Structure 1
Amino acid sequence: MALDSSGNTQKKSLIETRSIDYIPESERHGHLLSQFTLWFGTNLQITAIVTGALAVVLGGDVFWSLFGLLIGQILGGSVMALHAAQGPHLGLPQMISSRVQFGVYGAVIPIVLVCVLYVGFSATGTVLAGQSIAKLLDTTNSTGILLFGALIVVLTLFGYRLIHLIGRAASVIGIIAFVYLFSSLVMQFNLTELLMNNRHFTLAHFLLAISLSASWQIAYGPYVADYSRYLPSTISPIKTFLAVGGGSVLGTQISMTLGVFAAALAGKQFAGNELNYIVSLGGTGIIASFLYFSIIFGKIIATTLNSYGSFMSIATIVSGFRGNRQISPVVRFIYIFSMVGLATGLALAGQYSFLTIFKSFILFLLAFFTPWSAINLVDYYWVTKGRYDLKALSDPNGRYGAWNKIGISTYVIGVVIQMPFLATGFYTGPMVAHLGDTDISWIIGLVIPGILYYFAMKKWPYEIPEKLILPDAVCVDEAVFEGSELQAS
């Protein structure tokens, strides 16, 4: 039960009524276990398997690919979990808080790019889910893609509570499927011999593995707080950090490990036949049907997260110019239907060139999201220390202004400075060849913009509130935040 604005008790509904507005303490609910299961289940899925497989498909070995992927998980997972820890304190979706660093209108710049992220991940995931549905229902891949898209629209309309319920179910189904697949691999192949004999270290391939997993984790940053914002504000940020980061890192590493072994065993058979090869490792008949179902279910939670995040982002863009955060059910449906429809259309168009497009896409994303992540985290943990004026987030004439020149210029510098070191299917910078074809752009994109933003804010500071100011002008004691191990001294 929760209290409405009049103080009356109201029944909790499975259909979410909030959008990008602040979540009052009376409506806060949930436990850290649900955060762990959400991100653990989200990452026990076929796209993570394929991402891990890319480390081998693109020339890496088994041993060093697994080690590189683990390093990337920890680095990228730490970044995304730091964003997650903001959710309970602020009670807001992730991207609306970017107005502090970019301005009420300026925040549109990274948010538009975030929408591209959501659509891209949704499209690639829809391809694999559509193929699985086609296998189960004995229909065409295109029909499977359309059916999956329609399901995602319905689930996204329900929102936060249902997403967490699906996350718990996905964790259970995912564990069963992955335990079975790994058991099948152990019984059919000598994985220890494969691990020890398939070792040929090259710096370029090792860093590629790190980049693949780090980019996977960092890409969650723009919406991870969307799913922690309903937690009670009294929950420790360090515990939120560990629950979210632990679930995401563990789930993803399990998936990517399976992908590495599968790609090494399959050789040239893997590329272009990823889905069928993974299922074939487990068997045929009823077993194969269950594995296809587990793939579909895993993609349901991941794609619903993307769809929900896209709705939040579009709502944030529109509300920035309209000056409000209230979204009607009809408008909510239009936003969700439009974004899912676009992703489904891209999935239909690109279903026959999935692997190549996906590899280039996830690596290219780093150039645009690492600078945003660095700026947001430095501002929250080192500059403002979580003391935001939430009322001012909707006022272009208020504390944060319409356009924050420091945040925007630092972001642009952060993107541009990566270009010489970037290596993707879309573009390769001139410094890549001098570094042994190694892409280190994401490291530069995290470190340099963060440093620039910190010193720029020290030189040209603005007035920071003494406490967190809620939309109703009630100030919150900052003891909870300042007592956290996550706050920088």
Structure 2
Amino acid sequence: MKKDRAVSGRTERPLTEHHGIDWVDDSRRHGRERDQFSMRFAPVVYLAPVVLGGAGVPLGLGLVGSVTAIAAGNLLGSLATAACAVMGPRLGIPQVTMTRSAFGYRGNYVPAFLGILLFIGYFSLGTVLGARSLTNLTGLPYTPMIVVVAGLSVLIAVFGYDTLQAMGRWLTRASLVVFGIVSIAVVVHGTGPAATTNASSGHSVTTWLLVCSVVFSYTVSWTIYASDYSRYLPANGRARSMFLWAFGGLFSSATWMMVLGAALTTLAGGDPLAGLGVVLPAPLLKLVLAVFVAGALSHNAVNLYSGAMAGLTCDLPLRRTTVVVAGGAVGCVLSLLLGGGNFQSHFNTFLLMVSYFVMPWLAILLIDFYRTHQGGRGYPQPTAFQDRTGPYRGTRPRALLAFFLGIGASVPFMATDVYTGPIGHLLGGVDVSYAASFMVAALAHELLRAPHTDRETAAVDSALTTL
């Protein structure tokens, strides 16, 4: 591993990151807490949240109902993500690697593998929407643009952490200007007739819950990335400050893009891109599309980078850069398969399915970090997370049982195109499985982690391993 070199009183870091999932020691720490704002803001500035924000308008929810559902979902998801981002400086390791403490070194392969699927899925979705933006910008065929967007995303992710941080800062600045102009144009033009709620009161509540749950599923999925982009910050930083910057970046970006999407969708029969064409002159529309392409690249690179962290947590015998390239290739193929006429349905189903494992994993992580280990102060040396024969060796069956109980509890509440459970039917297709899975996993983990004598602990673990 290459070491940073001191040059003229500054730290010179290699252009390409050579760090994997091992602990970032104090000599390699750098950055500022306020950088968390742009790191959370930039990857959300692409077409997906804009499309998602308009989902309630064709269902009759209207603009006010959409905005309140968007704000509520993003508030909860951003709070959870910020709580996870705080863990990065404390432990100096990626997010999914942290749950080796709860699940055990080998037991953590389960959520890490599911994380890989999440990251590749989001990369594929980002590639589809980035290619659509690039096609609208250039007029070039869609399929080759898939390859262009995927290839550029891989290149950025290969360079790693500092490149992602730098891109986030510049993209955030550009987005604030460009989308500030777009927002003014929308206000001046006004919304369309679909801005008025036209659903019955009962159906309106159901639609509101549906939009809120899908929005929350999108935002809370960033929890599994959170510490990947804060672990290089100095360990003695202010946790409160970092929490607020991380929360502010994600909440403001996601809410702004989604509210714009809802407003634009009222203008053009369910197509926010067509809505942009209504309120903007052609040159400014091309500038917005260029920012969408850059945002898709940032989003995709973040997913490939974190996918590599999850792959290394599964002990793949590969370098970080190799995992990035392999993930990009798989995601590119999936993009070609997902980008058809049923994209919106695939997108919503994917977001909801993500929550089926993210929420029980999150419940266990939060209890392990904030309760079991007193906000990160009760862990052994951070190098213990990399020691397969150390204190986290093997598998922690009780945590895995709580995890699977959480996932199982979500089944009756599911409401997707693939499967709808009995409670999902009763709720009119609203999927609130994330709440059930989080609460059940948290309760089960809390009960199963209760203090035992050494003999009782050995007996419990032996029984669960047999199961």
| TM-score between the two structures when normalised by the length of structure 2 | 0.90
Inter-partner Cα distance in structure 2 for 1:317 and 1:4: 31
CA distance in structure 2 between the aligned counterparts of 1:278 and 1:162, rounded to whole angstroms: 33
Partner SS, residue 94 of structure 2: coil
Question: What is the one-letter code of the residue matched to 1:32?
Answer: E
Partner of 1:411: 403
Aligned to 1:359: 348
In 1, distance between residues paired with 2:14 and 2:388? Answer: 34
Matched, 1:172 2:173: yes
CA distance in 2, matches of 1:9, 1:130: 39
Shift in Å at residue 98 of structure 1?
1.1
State the Cα distance separating 1:200 from its structure 2 match: 5.4
Q: 1:388 aligns with which of 379, 397, 400?
A: 379
Q: Aligned partner of 2:42: which letter?
A: G
2: distance between equivalents of 1:332 and 1:426? 34
Q: Which amino acid aligns with 2:366?
A: L
Is the aligned partner of 1:310 residue 2:307?
yes
| In structure 1, distance between residues paired with 2:227 and 2:278 | 36
Q: Distance in 1 between matches of 2:175 and 2:426?
A: 42
The 2-side partners of 1:281 and 1:233 are apart by 49
Hey, what's the Cα distance between the residues in 2 that align with 1:377 and 1:148? 35
Does the residue aligned with 1:219 lie in a helix, a strand or coil? helix
Match of 1:451 among 439, 443, 453: 443
Tell me by how many angstroms 1:150 deviates.
1.0
For these two proteins, the number of residue pairs brought into alignment is 446
CA separation of 1:23/1:395 partners in 2, compared to 1, >3 Å: closer, same or farther? closer
Q: Deviations over 1:183-219 (max 9, x none)?
A: 222222257x975666754322121122122111111
Query: What's the counterpart of residue 113 of structure 1?
Result: 114
Checking the alignment, whether the CA contact within 8 Å between 1:132 and 1:144 is kept in structure 2 is no
Distance 1:139 1:436, change over 3 A: closer
The Cα offsets for residues 57-110 of structure 1, whole Å up to 9 and x where unpaired, read as 344332122112111111111111111010000000111111111111111111
SS in 1 for 2:99: helix
Match of 2:293 in 1: 296
Q: Which amino acid aligns with 2:242?
A: T
Q: Distance in 2 between matches of 1:336 and 1:76?
A: 27
CA contact (8 A) 2:267 2:275 kept: no
**How far did residue 135 of structure 1 move?**
2.9
| Pair 1:423 & 2:394 matched | no
SS in 2 for 1:57: coil
Q: Which residue of 2 aligns with 1:257?
A: 259
CA separation in 1, counterparts of 2:396 and 2:45? 39
Deviations 1:344-394, CA, capped at 9 Å, x for gaps: 111112211321110111011111110000100111001122122333323
Q: Name the amino acid aligned to 1:314.
A: G
Mapped to 2, the partners of 1:290 and 1:428 lie a distance apart of 41
Query: Which residue pairs with 2:61 in the alignment?
Result: 60
CA 197–425 in structure 1, closer or farther in 2 if over 3 Å, else same? closer
C-alpha distance in structure 1 between counterparts of 2:362 and 2:21, whole Å: 20
Question: How far apart, in 2, do the equivalents of 1:460 and 1:308 lie?
Answer: 39
Q: CA–CA distance in 2 between the matches of 1:182 and 1:281?
A: 13
Judge conservation of contact 1:45–1:174 (CA < 8 Å) in 2. no
* Distance in 2 of aligned mates of 1:139 and 1:194: 32
SS in 2 for 1:277: helix
Work out whether residues 62 and 195 of structure 1, in 8 Å CA contact, stay in contact via their aligned partners in 2: yes
User: 1:338 is aligned with what amino acid?
Assistant: A
- Contact 1:63–1:198 under 8 Å retained in 2: no
Correspondence for 2:278 among 278, 281, 306: 281
Q: Secondary structure at the match of 2:67?
A: helix
For the 8 Å contact 1:279–1:292, the answer to whether it is kept is no
Q: Distance in 2 between matches of 1:72 and 1:106?
A: 31
Q: 1:377 aligns with which of 360, 366, 380?
A: 366
1:407-439 Cα distance to aligned partner (Å, 9 max, x none): 101000000011001111221111122234332
**Structure 2: runs of 5 or more not aligned:** 455-467
Q: Which amino acid aligns with 2:422?
A: P
Is 208-217 or 56-65 further displaced after alignment? 56-65
What amino acid does structure 2 have at the position aligned with 1:87?
Answer: G
Q: 1:233 aligns with which of 235, 240, 249?
A: 235
Which amino acid in 2 is paired with 1:288?
A: L
Contact 1:125 1:303 in 2 (8 A): yes
Q: Is the 8 A contact 1:63 1:199 kept in 2?
A: no
Assess, with a 3 A threshold, how the Cα gap between structure 1 residues 79 and 261 changes in structure 2: closer, same or farther. same
- Partner residue in 1 for 2:214: 212
TM superposition shift of 1:3: 5.8
Q: Which amino acid aligns with 1:442?
A: Y
What SS does the corresponding residue of 2:224 show, helix, strand or coil?
coil
Q: Which residue of 2 aligns with 1:16?
A: 17
Equivalent-residue separation in structure 2 for 1:3 and 1:14 (angstroms): 11
When structure 1 is superposed on structure 2, of 158-167 and 429-438 the one drifting more is 429-438
Which of 58-67 and 87-96 deviates more?
Answer: 58-67
2:328 to 340, 343, 351: 340
The residue type paired with residue 373 of structure 2 is T
Listed one character per residue, the Cα deviations across residues 98-135 of structure 1 (whole Å, up to 9, x for unaligned) are 11111111111111111111111111111111122223
**What is the identity, as a one-letter code, of the residue corresponding to 1:420?**
P
Tell me the distance in 1 between the aligned counterparts of 2:132 and 2:429: 34
- CA distance in structure 2 between the partners assigned to 1:374 and 1:84 by the alignment: 15
Structure-2 residue corresponding to 1:471? none
Equivalent-residue separation in structure 2 for 1:221 and 1:461 (angstroms): 34
Shift of 1:397: 3.4
Identical counterparts, % of pairs:
26
Q: How does 1:20-59 map to 2 (within 5 A)?
A: 20-59=21-60
Instruction: Give the drift of 1:461.
Output: 7.8
Once the 2 structures are TM-superposed, how far is the Cα of residue 4 of structure 1 from its aligned partner?
A: 6.6
Q: Which amino acid in 2 is paired with 1:300?
A: L
1: CA distance, partners of 2:79 / 2:158:
30
Question: Contact 1:364/1:426 (CA < 8 Å) preserved in 2?
Answer: no
Q: Within 2, Cα distance between the matches of 1:431 and 1:412? A: 19
Root-mean-square deviation (CA), in Å? 2.4
2:249 equivalent to 1:247 = yes
Provide the rounded CA distance (Å) in 2 between the counterparts of 1:408 and 1:207.
Answer: 30
Give yes or no for contact 1:279–1:288 (8 Å, CA) kept in 2: yes
Task: Report Cα offsets for 1:437-484 as digits up to 9, x if no partner.
Answer: 33221111222211221221124488xxxxxxxxxxxxxxxxxxxxxx
Deviations 1:11-58 (A, max 9, x none): 223321211111111111111221101212222321111111112234
The 1:59–1:364 alpha-carbon spacing in structure 2 relative to 1, beyond 3 Å, is: farther
Structure 1 spans left out of the alignment, 5+ residues: 463-489
Query: What residue number does 1:126 align with?
Result: 127
